[in-house]
Amino acid sequence: MNPTKLPPIDPLFFERFGATQEQIERTMAHPGYEHEPFLLLALAELRDEEVIVPHFLDFLEPLGQLTEEIGGHTVWRGRVEATLVAPADEHWNLVQLLRFPSRASMIEMVQRPEFIRINEVRQRALAANRMLAMESADAAAFDLPPDHDEHAAATTAAASTATPLLRPGALSPDPRVVASLTRHRDYDTEPVLLMVAAAFGSDRAAEGYIETWAPVHQRVLTDVGGKMVWYSRTGETLIGDEEPHWDAVALEWYPSRAALVGLITDRTHLAADPDRVRHLSSTMMLVVGSASAENFDLRD
């Protein structure tokens, strides 16, 4: 598509959808705008989590139907249980991944009368919203969580005895939040996902992160019985603040909260942490539920 001849958009669209004109024009000028499938990462902060979450389903369910009508679908959705680390102004309650057949199909969908009607629920519920396009839309990029029963007993026993040894820091997990995970009633038994977003600031920093920190993290992740479920570099921001611009997002599966705490407090992991911090300009780690394979829809 020629970026100088973009389709006209109702001026009220920007207010309703929550995007700036610059963000939408950048999306519409993408080389694959009309034909390239993409994943959309959507983060939602609700005005009142306890009251609004049930009502927010009045938006999410018809949104899923509309997405199906244009050939897309919800890949995964989870409720944030705890924020281990995040920028001070980011307080997300819900995370979801949606797959669209193209950016054009998404832009067309959110201008439909049906979306405009249900969007009133979304606007009332949200305190903040952020949507990021992901570079990878391939279902093969996902490695689904295993059957929890095959792994939990072997991996949580040692991890459940871990003692928090964390050093507080702007880019490190909050020791108080980690301690709260140990008090969860399903600490030893229920699997969880960790969504990690990373901002590097430069290609050199990203390379250093991959070369020095990632191998250590992967070894300890395997040791506690966890696995990388999904990873992607990010594209453009469709809605919300541009900074920090997350360069990559990953989902990690853990057989239990105990396994996650075991990784965070592992001495080898802690010893290598300065390498992680040195290469990051910002990061976010969200503990999220909906960690079983049945919660993922990996249709192409």
Specify if 32 maps to a domain. yes
Shared domain check, 97 and 145: no
Do the strands 282-288 and 248-254 form a parallel or antiparallel pair, or are they unpaired? unpaired
Shared domain check, 146 and 288: yes
In the predicted model, is pLDDT for residue 123 greater than 90?
no
Binning pLDDT at 50, 70 and 90, where does residue 20 land? Answer: confident
pTM, two decimals, is: 0.90
Query: Residue 295: CB partners within 8 Å, gap ≥ 6?
Result: 76, 77, 78
Specify if 300 maps to a domain. no
Measured between alpha carbons, how far is residue 233 from residues 24, 46, 139 in Å? Answer: 20, 26, 15
Specify if 3 maps to a domain. no
Specify if 242 maps to a domain. yes
pLDDT at 275: 92
Q: Residue 278 sits in which domain range?
A: 140-295
Shared domain check, 201 and 106: no
Above pLDDT 70, what percent of the chain? Answer: 85
Shared domain check, 133 and 155: no
Specify if 2 maps to a domain. no
* 170: its two tokens: 């702007």
pLDDT in tens, 55-79: 677 788 899 999 999 999 999 999 9
Shared domain check, 203 and 163: yes
> Distance between CA atoms of 186 and 53, rounded to whole angstroms?
22
Shared domain check, 40 and 117: yes
| Cβ-contact 282, 199 below 8 angstroms | yes
Name residue 284's beta-bridge partners.
Answer: 197
Binning pLDDT at 50, 70 and 90, where does residue 204 land? Answer: very high
Specify if 7 maps to a domain. no
Shared domain check, 173 and 119: no
Shared domain check, 194 and 81: no
Output 158 or 227, whichever has higher pLDDT. 227
Q: Where among 104, 137, 170 does a domain terminate?
A: 137
Shared domain check, 104 and 85: yes
Residues 264-286, mean pLDDT to the nearest whole number: 93
Specify if 99 maps to a domain. yes
Shared domain check, 176 and 147: yes
Residue-wise burial string across 257-266, b where 16 or more C-beta atoms lie within 10 A, e elsewhere? bbbbbbbbbb
Torsion angle, alpha carbons of 245, 251, 254, 258, to 10: 20
> Distance between CA atoms of 164 and 162, rounded to whole angstroms?
6
pLDDT in tens, 76-120: 999 999 999 999 889 999 999 999 999 999 988 988 899 988 888
Q: Where among 110, 137, 164 does a domain terminate?
A: 137
| Identity of the amino acid at 113 | P
Number of domains in the chain: 2
In the predicted model, is pLDDT for residue 53 greater than 90?
no
Shared domain check, 215 and 123: no
In the predicted model, is pLDDT for residue 179 greater than 50?
yes
Shared domain check, 276 and 155: yes
Measured between alpha carbons, how far is residue 134 from residues 63, 146, 184, 213, 249 in Å? Answer: 19, 24, 32, 23, 9
Q: If you compute the radius of gyration of the chain from its CA atoms, what whole number of angstroms results?
A: 20
Q: Residue 11: which H helix or E strand, with range?
A: none
> Distance between CA atoms of 263 and 113, rounded to whole angstroms?
48
Residue 78's domain is classified under what CATH number? 3.30.70.100
Residues 27-53, mean pLDDT to the nearest whole number: 86
